[in-house]
Structure 1
Amino acid sequence: MSQVIAPPVPSAPPAARRRDPVPWLLLLGTVAQVALRLWLARARTAPVADPDDTSYLAGARWLAGGPGADLTGHTFYQAGYPLLISPLHWFTDDPATVYTGVMAINALVGAALFPMGVAALRRLGLGRRAALPLAFAAALLPASTFFGMFALTDAILPTLVLGWLLLLDRFVRTGRAVDGTLASLVAAYACFTHSRGEVVLAVHVLALLATRRREMSAGLVMAAGGYLAASAVNDALRRSLYPGGARDMAGLLQERLTSVSGQAWSLSGMAGQVWYLVVGTWGLAGIGLVATFAALGRRETRLMAGVLLTTTFGIAYASEAALADEHRVGNFAYGRYLALLALVYVLIAVAVLFRATARNVLRASLAGILIAAGTGATVLLYAGTRLRTHQFIGFDFPETNFLTQDRTQFRLVLATVVATGLLTVLVAAGLLAGRRSGGVWAVALVLLVVNATAMVDIMGDGKRVAPTPPLPAASERGGVVVDRSLHWVARIKLTDPVWWTRIGWIDAAHRAPARGVCTVVVPAATDGTPPTGTWPGHPAGWLTRTGGAGVAAWVAWYDPHCGAATAATGPAAGRPGGH
C-alpha cells in the first residue's frame, strides 16, 4: 500500500488585527470638545465678570514678573489658576491676545472632561461603546462649560475634582501608593485654586485616614507638602496684590456659625445651591444624589459615596456661611459653588439609567424631583419677597435663564417645572429605546442637543466683547494713578488694559502727580460738567480722554509729551510705586 502524502495546504493569512478604535475616538472627541469650546468663546477678548475676571488676570501678570495690581478690600483670589495662565505673559503683553490665550487654555482643560468622563462611566459599570457618546454629551454640560468662557478658576475646578475622585477611587480599590500620592497632589492643587478646594483637601485627608492602609502615608505627606507650598505662594500673592488686606471672610464665617440667624442663612443657602445643582443639570443631578445616598448602604461603595456627599454639602454650607449679604438674588439660590461637582452627579445618573432596573430608575427620578421641590420650597420660604426685590444678576443664573427664557428675573417654580420636563424626556429616551445601543444613543443625543442649545443660548449672539477703551498711547511709558474717589468698578476695569504698570493712587484735588506719572484718572462728572472741568488743578498742557459708563465713567488726564520724556529716563521710570 502506498501512502500518498499531499502537499501542505498553505494556511489562510491570519486575519488582520483590527485596531482598537477607542483611542482614536477619544482623541477625535477631545479635539471636538476643544473646538466647540473655542467656538463658544469666539467673542471673548476682554474680562466682564469683574472683579473676579480681572483679579485672576492681574495675579497671572504678577506671577509672570509683571506689575500686578492693588486689589485691597476685594476677595482674595488664589494663585492656582493664575499660575496656570501666567506663561501667556512670556509671549505677549497685549491684553486681548492674553485673554484669547486664556480661552484656549480653558478649552484644553475643559475638554479633558470627555476622556475622564469615559473613565468614570467605565468605573461605574458601563461598556466602552456606551461610555463614549454619553461622556461626550455630558462634558458639554453648562455647569462644566460656561465658566470656561471667562478667566475664572471655575473653568478648571470640574476637571480637577473629577480627576481627584478617579485617582482616590483607584487608591481605595487598589491600595497603590502612587494613586494616593497623585490624588493628594490634585487635591492640594484644588486647595491652591479656591477656598472650595480647602474642603476637597480636608475630605481627601479624612478619606486617606479612613482607608487604614499603610500606603496612605505617602499621600498624607504629599497633601501636607502641597498645602504648605500652596500657602506660601498664596501668601506672597496676598502681600503683593492686597497691601491693605483682603475682604475678611473668616470673620463673617465665624459670625454665621455662632448665631441662629447665621445658621438659618447658611442652611437655606445650602438648600438653594442643591436646588440649583439639580435644576441646572436638567434634573439628572437629583438622580445622582439619590444613587450616591443609596451607595452609603453598600460596603464596597460606602467610602467614596461618603467622600462625594461630604464634599458636596461641605462646600455648599461653608461657601454660603462665608457669603456676604450683597442684596442679590444669588445669595439665596446659586449654582456656581457646586458647579465643580455637577458633571460627577450627571455621570452617576447616566450610569443609573443604563444599569438599574426600570423600576429603580423611576424611583430615583421621582426622588430627585422631590429633592428639587423640597430645596426649592425652602428657598421660597426663607427668601420670600427678597427674590423679587433684591438685585437679579443674569450671570448668576445661566441655566435657569435658559430654562425660563427670561434674563430679567428669577423664576424658581418655572425653572423647576421645565427641568422636570427635560428629565422626563431623558429618562423616557433611555427606557423606551432600550438598554442597548439604541437607548444609549437616544439619551446621548437628547443630552447633547439640550447642553449645546443651552450654551448657545447662554452665550448670546457671539458679538465680540469690547475691551475697556485704552488709555492714551503716551501713557504706556509712564505711571498711571487713579483718584481715590474713582468708583471701584472703573479702577478694576482699567487694571487689565493698563498692562505696563501697577496703577497707583492720588488725591487729585490736593496733590500734584509724582514724577514719572503720565496719566491721572478721575471720575467723570455727573452734573454735566465737561471732561475738561473734572480736574481744575491739572498741570498745564495735559489733555483728556473719556471712558467707562455709569458709575464707572472716568476721565483720563494725560501728558501728551510724557512718553518721550520718560523714554529717556529708562524703563524704571515707567513703573513707579504709586502707593
Structure 2
Amino acid sequence: MVDTPAPPVRGRSGAAGARVWWLLAAGWLAQVALRLWLNRYHTMPVANPDETGYLLAARWLAGGAGADLSGSTFYQAGYALLLVPIFWLTSDPALAYRLAVGAGAMAAASAYPAAYVLLRRLRLDRRAALVAAFVAGLSPALLVFSGFALADAILPVVVLAWLTALHDLVAGGAERRRVVAGVVAGGLGAYAMATHLRGTVIVAVCLLVAVALWRRLPRAALIATLASAVAGAVAGDALNAALRAALYPGGPRDLSALLVERLTSVDGQAWALSGAAGQLWYLVTGTWGLAGVGLAGAAALLARRSAPLAPRVLAGALLAATLGIAYASSAALPDEHRVGNFAYGRYLSCVAVAWTLAGLLTLLRARRLAVARCALAAAGLLAVTGGVTAWYAGDRLHRHAFIAFDFPEVIFLTRTFDALDLVTASLSALALLACLTAAALLARPATATPAGRPATAVVGVLALIHLAFIAHLAPSPPAAGPDWLPAPAPPGRVAVEAGVRWNVWVPLSYRVWWTGIERFHGTTPPEGICTAVVQEDAGPPPEGWTVTGARHGWATWSRC
C-alpha cells in the first residue's frame, strides 16, 4: 500500500493520548449526529425484502412473533443479533425501526475510531491518522447503508477491525497479545460468516493466512486463531440453522444449483467474471478512484519481498477477500433482469472503506513517481473493468431495470436518476482521482518522504468530495399520503391469500407485530382469522366478511 517506509511513530505522553481519545469520542458523536440527520425521515423498511428479513429475524430471536419467509433469500442471524435488545424494549414496528436505524448510525460511525487504530498500526502520524480516518468515515459506503436495517451498516467496521487484528497477529510482540489478536481475528471472521455469505470469504482468508504463516506464528496464536474461527463458525451455523427452521419452514431460496452451473460452464464463468469486473469497476468509481490507487499500491507492496511482513499480509488478505467476494457473489447472483446484475457496488461496500484508506496511505506516503504510477494504474483498472462490463452486458445496461438504490455513488457522479451512464460515471471518477492525485503531488517536496502537507491537501480534497455527496444525500420531507400497506388491527389473527404479491405480504409480516401472518389458498379464509388480505380483484368476500380496504393490488376483509 506504500512505496517507502513510514517514519517511526513518536512516543506519546499521557496527556496527548487522552486528547486523542477525546477527539475520537467527539468525532464519533459528530458522525452519529450526521447520520441521524440524514436518515431522519426513515420510518419504515423500504429496502425489501432485505430489511424486513433482518428485522423479522431479530424479532423472533427476541422472543416475538415470527413469519413464514419460505422461498425467500435467507437473511442470516449475525446482524439480527445486534437488534435483539431493541425488540426487548418495544414491540412497536415504527419505533423499533427507528432504533435500528440509530443502531446502524452508531455502528457505521465506529468506522472512524476503527480506521484511526488501523492507520496507527500502519505507522501513520497521529494527526494525519485522525483527519484521514474522520474523512474516510464519511465514505458513501458508510453513509448510505447506515440508514437502513441492513448488514451492510456493520460489515465495513467488522472488516476494519478484522484487518487490525490480523496486523497484531502477524506484526510480532508479546505472545499473549498475538494470542488475543488471533482470537479476535478468527472470531470476527466467523461473525462475518454468520452475518452474510460474504463473510464466508473473509473467514476463509483468515484461515489461509493462519495456515500460510504457521511457521512464523507462535503455536498458541495459531491454535487460538483456528479455534476461534472454527468454533465461531460452528456456533453461527447452529444459530442460522435454528433461524432457518423457524422462519423458512419450507426452505429458503436455493441458489446452489445455479452456483454449480455457473462454476462448471463457460457461459457461467463469463457471467461470474464479468460481474466481478463490474463490481470492481463500481468499487473504484464509488471511491473516486482511491480504491484503484489502493489496489495498485497493494500489488506493489506484495511484489516487494523486502517490505515488512504485516503490511504485506494485510495487502494480500484484503486483496484476496475483495476478489473472492466479487467472484463468488457474482457467480451466485441470479439473472434478475436489472442493471445491477452487471455493475453493482453493495457486495464490495464492506471493503470499500478499507481500500479508501489504502489509497490514502499510498497518496500520502509514496514518492512522487510511485503516486503517479498508482494513479495511472487506477485509471487503467477503471477503464478495463468498465470496458469488460459494457462489452458483456451490451444493451442490457439500458434494457434491464435500473434500481436507483443500487447506484447512489453513480447517480451522484452523473446526475442521472433513471439509467446507468457508465461513461460519464467513469470520466467523473477519473476527474476526482486527478484532483486527489494533483493534491498529493503538488503538496509534497520533490525529495524526502512526505509529512503533514500532503495529508492536509489530499484529505482536504476528499473532504470536499464527501461534503458534496452529503449534500446530494440530504433528504426532502416525504410526500403526505395514505399508507400503501394493509392495516390489520391487533390482536386478531391475520392471513394472506397466496396470490398476493410478495412486496405486500413481506413488509406486512413486520407491521403485524402481535402474531405471525398465515397463508391460505382459495377464496375462503381459515377459521379464526380476523383479517384476510386478498388480491384486489378477488371479488366479493364470503358471507360474514366485510371489505375494509383496497389499494395497490390488495383488498382486506374483516369479520372481527
Question: Paired residue for 1:506?
Answer: 520
- Is the Cα contact below 8 Å between 1:57 and 1:496 reproduced in 2? yes
Query: Which amino acid letter does the alignment assign opposite residue 89 of structure 2?
Result: F
Question: Paired residue for 1:518?
Answer: 530
Residue 389 (structure 2) pairs with residue 379 (structure 1)? yes
Give, in whole Å, the separation in 2 of the partners of 1:246 and 1:472. Answer: 27
Residue deviations 1:431-465, cap 9 Å, x none?
Answer: 32334434322322321221232134245425389
Question: Paired residue for 2:425?
Answer: 415
Residue deviations 1:240-265, cap 9 Å, x none?
Answer: 11111111121111110000000000
Give, in whole Å, the separation in 1 of the partners of 2:14 and 2:281. Answer: 50
Give, in whole Å, the separation in 2 of the partners of 1:448 and 1:466. Answer: 37
Query: Which amino acid letter does the alignment assign opposite residue 235 of structure 1?
Result: A
Give, in whole Å, the separation in 1 of the partners of 2:197 and 2:222. Answer: 24
Question: Paired residue for 1:327?
Answer: 337
Give, in whole Å, the separation in 1 of the partners of 2:353 and 2:483. Answer: 34
Query: Which amino acid letter does the alignment assign opposite residue 555 of structure 2?
Result: V
Residue 407 (structure 2) pairs with residue 393 (structure 1)? no
Give, in whole Å, the separation in 2 of the partners of 1:472 and 1:289. Answer: 50
Map residues 412-491 of structure 1 onto 2, 5 A cutoff: 412-434=422-444, 435-458=450-473, 460-463=475-478, 468=483, 471-472=486-487, 475-491=489-505
Question: Paired residue for 1:103?
Answer: 101
Question: Paired residue for 1:276?
Answer: 282
Query: Which amino acid letter does the alignment assign opposite residue 542 of structure 2?
Result: H
C-alpha displacement of 1:199: 0.6
Are the structure 2 counterparts of residues 512 and 247 from structure 1 closer, same or farther at C-alpha, using a change threshold of 3 Å?
closer
Question: Paired residue for 2:555?
Answer: 555
Give, in whole Å, the separation in 2 of the partners of 1:19 and 1:129. Answer: 11
Question: Paired residue for 1:293?
Answer: 299
Q: Which moved more, 1:115-124 or 1:226-235?
A: 115-124
Give, in whole Å, the separation in 2 of the partners of 1:317 and 1:173. Answer: 30
Q: Which has the larger radius of gyration?
A: 1
Count of residues in correspondence between the two structures: 530
Question: Paired residue for 2:511?
Answer: 497
C-alpha displacement of 1:423: 0.9
Map residues 50-69 of structure 1 onto 2, 5 A cutoff: 50-69=48-67
Give, in whole Å, the separation in 2 of the partners of 1:465 and 1:337. Answer: 34
Stretches of structure 2 that go unaligned for 5 or more consecutive residues are: 1-12, 445-449
TM-score by length of 2: 0.91
Give, in whole Å, the separation in 1 of the partners of 2:437 and 2:118. Answer: 20
Question: Paired residue for 2:187?
Answer: 185
- Is the Cα contact below 8 Å between 2:41 and 2:475 reproduced in 1? no
Map residues 196-345 of structure 1 onto 2, 5 A cutoff: 196-212=198-214, 213=217, 214=219, 215-299=221-305, 300=309, 301-345=311-355
Residue deviations 1:61-97, cap 9 Å, x none?
Answer: 1111111111111111100111111210111111110
Map residues 49-198 of structure 1 onto 2, 5 A cutoff: 49-174=47-172, 176-198=178-200
Stretches of structure 1 that go unaligned for 5 or more consecutive residues are: 1-15, 526-533, 563-579
- Is the Cα contact below 8 Å between 2:485 and 2:504 reproduced in 1? no
C-alpha displacement of 1:543: 3.8
Give, in whole Å, the separation in 1 of the partners of 2:138 and 2:64. Answer: 35
Give, in whole Å, the separation in 2 of the partners of 1:398 and 1:364. Answer: 26
Q: Which moved more, 1:406-415 or 1:534-543?
A: 534-543
- Is the Cα contact below 8 Å between 2:495 and 2:525 reproduced in 1? no
- Is the Cα contact below 8 Å between 2:38 and 2:473 reproduced in 1? no
Q: What SS is found at the alignment partner of 1:520? A: strand
Give, in whole Å, the separation in 2 of the partners of 1:41 and 1:539. Answer: 46
Are the structure 2 counterparts of residues 46 and 17 from structure 1 closer, same or farther at C-alpha, using a change threshold of 3 Å?
closer
Give, in whole Å, the separation in 2 of the partners of 1:337 and 1:268. Answer: 15
Residue deviations 1:530-562, cap 9 Å, x none?
Answer: xxxx44243425241234x3xxx3111112xx3
Are the structure 2 counterparts of residues 439 and 237 from structure 1 closer, same or farther at C-alpha, using a change threshold of 3 Å?
same
C-alpha displacement of 1:33: 1.1
Q: What SS is found at the alignment partner of 1:136? A: helix
The structure 2 residue matched to 1:536, chosen from 537, 540, 560, is 540
Give, in whole Å, the separation in 1 of the partners of 2:212 and 2:451. Answer: 38
| RMSD after superposition | 1.8
Are the structure 2 counterparts of residues 222 and 461 from structure 1 closer, same or farther at C-alpha, using a change threshold of 3 Å?
same
Aligned-residue sequence identity (percent) comes to: 47
TM-score by length of 1: 0.88
Query: Which amino acid letter does the alignment assign opposite residue 225 of structure 1?
Result: A
